[in-house]
Amino acid sequence: MPSNLPINWYAVCVRHQNEQRVEQVLQHQGWETLVPRYRSRRQWSDRVKEIEAALFAGFVFCRFAAEERMQIEDTPGVLRIVSFCGAPAPIDAREMEEIRSITTARVPLSPWPYLEAGDRVRVERGPLKGIEGTLLRTQDGAHLVVGIELLQRAIACHLDPDMVVPVRARSAVA
């Protein structure tokens, strides 16, 4: 839907497994959309099948002016638009272009947990399986930092980032 208002990318939350249907409806209405996909092998009891799934499950990215949000929210299958303080939160156009470039390059890809330096992580595979620590990124890669709080000392070991998963914060026991 053309307009003279500033147009940005927004993340639209959709019902479970409705990404493709919502994308088609929005495109039919004239909106620019993006639902990055990847190929995945799924195991059923009697067979293995390769399917195409959304990289960002539950989201359709759509480009529109914030003032036109009601038209997007009225689309069947749309739950809401990701917002902060009641206003739709725009996504950086550079990030969207990077995602588009990666998905059109036809390289193997898959969803990945969003990890930042300083996040608590747990090793899921390899000789360090089960160990929890803090993720540290340096010029030579990712490291797992484990320490003794009482001594205020720590050690770090190099690790492959795909071996770790985020650890949910534990609630304090009073």
Q: What is the pLDDT along the chain (174 residues), one digit of tens a residue?
A: 455 778 999 999 999 999 999 999 999 999 999 999 988 888 888 999 998 999 999 999 999 999 999 999 999 999 999 999 999 999 999 999 989 988 888 877 877 767 778 888 988 988 888 888 888 888 878 888 887 666 677 778 888 878 888 887 654 554
User: 69 and 95 share a domain?
Assistant: yes
pLDDT at 159 (0 to 100): 85
Same domain, 13 and 73: yes
Q: Cβ(13)–Cβ(78) under 8 Å?
A: yes
R_g of the chain, CA atoms, integer Å: 21
Closest by CA position to 77, among listed 25, 36, 33, 8 = 25
Q: How far apart are CA 39 and CA 48, in angstroms?
A: 13
Domain assignment present for residue 1? The answer is no
Residue 2 lies in a domain: no
pTM score, two decimals? 0.70
**Unique residue bearing structure tokens 């009225």:** 74
Return the bridge partners of 137, or none.
142
| One domain, residues 18 and 96 | yes
Same domain, 27 and 98: yes
Domain that holds residue 156: 120-166
Residue 143 to residue 135: CA distance in whole angstroms:
6
Q: Are residues 28 and 71 in the same domain?
A: yes
Please give the tally of structural domains in the chain: 2
Give the H/E segment covering residue 134. Answer: strand 132-138
